[in-house]
Chains A and B, each alone.
Chain A
């Protein structure tokens, strides 16, 4: 009976794991089988062209790729430094009392629906930009600010956890302090390198969340399909392209949105592979 239980539990775990990855396979197959025919039909030159006008047979997604990259970059510039500093604060500086305020606060920040951020951005950030910086307000900057805030919980919680997870029995910190390093030097030369893989994955997950966010940015980006010339210009990202046109798309147009999905997919894969390569090489 005991042995049977042993074998069974192993099998069950294996089957559960197998079904989980077959989900990825299923999604991949579906998205690709819907999107690839269009790319094959219109050609790579059209697909990676500069003009998106599905009703006229033009499916260029370059403006959207540039949109995604610029907004994500903006979000990273805002979110990563603040997030990392905050996680160091929580792991090393925060008085116990403050930590007790922060933890649930960050949990809450992570839980707020993205549409609420978008709505707040539309009523708070967009008018601010329009009145003080110019333009229509719906812009890369507005999107970057909203996304920068939205990726904070991801970055903070994962990097804090990885700093705290450094095994105390190695006496990293105590040893370093004994060697006469200051607290900041200890953080910089001992804790951060030791927590690097967690921090890298925090940053990459954060960036992934920024690239993948749809509803919040639909509300604040303006969704133009032209190339932006400044951070005050409206842009459209790959995700908003799908989100905004899915309802109205048919036939080739719908396939083109799936093809947009493929591009998103590839970007995420590249990000993940890079992350895994970096973390593995370090070990």
Chain B
């Protein structure tokens, strides 16, 4: 009797778990299909290579593609060394329960939780106004760098801690120094997790709107230098959509964003897999 009813419950719970998983997949498919069906027909060679005309009502989105790439590049180049360095310091150079570790980890976690709009406020007041950098690729990139730093720290630290201690002990017992152990043993085993964090961050940069619009600005012209203002694709999409300037071009931009993020994921995943295959 007991057994029978518990088996029923068990089956119900299993069904629920399956249903939850499938509903996640369904939602993804619905959203992506919604955007792609309307957006893909808009994308053409001209759409990719022409500068927006008439506020984005006509013309392409080339300047916003360049803007997105530049802002993201600045952010990643600056945040990655700091993030991975901090993670190694936390994981390899301090005891897990030491005061330093706790303070840094608490800071990193709090930084991770701060809403992007607050980063935007900070970047606007500090980089744009206080340092006089104006709305620019650099202001936007630096703001994003600070924003993604905690993500990179957290994911890298987790990847490093997931490397079994056995590996380190073997390396030491073979006469390896700490540095050698980190570079030759820990890093190769943790690289997948670390790279995953960096990729997540690239995605966040490409997708971010609130922090970028306050710091990199929303100028439509093609960016010529790091000190010029620019408009990223996500900001362009937001302005086109929320101001109802052109739904058609908004869908096109969104479709391109989704494709771009998909490609970033695919490329990164293949690279990591190849790296792992080679390492083993």
Contact = CB atoms under 8 A, between A and B. Distances in A.
Asked if A and B form a direct contact in the complex, defined as CB atoms under 8 angstroms apart, the reply is yes
A5 interface: yes
A272 B114 CA distance: 11
B207 A114 contact: yes
Interface string B148-180: 010001000010001010000000000001110
Contacts, number: 235
A271 interface: yes
A20 B106 CA distance: 12
> Interface size for chain B: under 10, 10 to 19, 20 to 34, or 35 or more residues?
35 or more
Q: Chain A interface secondary structure, helix, strand, loop or mixed?
A: helix
Interface stretch (A44-52, A53-61, A115-123, A135-143): A115-123
A188 B90 CA distance: 32
Contact of B23 (A21, A82, A109, A271): A82
Contact of B28 (A10, A31, A108, A124): A108
B31 A101 contact: no
B95 interface: no
Given A14-B93, A81-B20, A101-B25, A108 B108 contact: no
A34 B35 contact: no
Interface stretch (A171-179, A226-234, A239-247): A239-247
Contact of B110 (A30, A257, A268): A268
A120 B115 contact: no
A104 B20 contact: no
B50 interface: no
A109 B21 CA distance: 13
B261 interface: yes
Q: Which 10 A-B pairs give the minimum distances between C-beta atoms?
A: A16-B85, A212-B115, A85-B20, A113-B207, A111-B261, A13-B89, A111-B203, A208-B113, A89-B21, A268-B113
Interface of A: 2, 5-6, 9-10, 12-17, 19-21, 23-24, 26-27, 30-31, 34, 81-83, 85-86, 88-90, 93-94, 101-102, 104-117, 119-120, 122, 124, 149, 152, 156, 161, 165, 167, 182, 184, 204-205, 208, 211-215, 218-219, 239, 242-243, 246, 257-258, 261, 264-265, 268-269, 271-273, 275-276
Interface of B: 10, 13-14, 16-21, 23-25, 27-28, 31-32, 34-35, 81-83, 85-86, 88-90, 92-93, 103-122, 124-126, 146, 149, 153, 158, 162, 164, 177-179, 182, 200, 203, 206-210, 214, 234, 237-238, 241-242, 250, 254, 257-258, 261-262, 264-266, 269
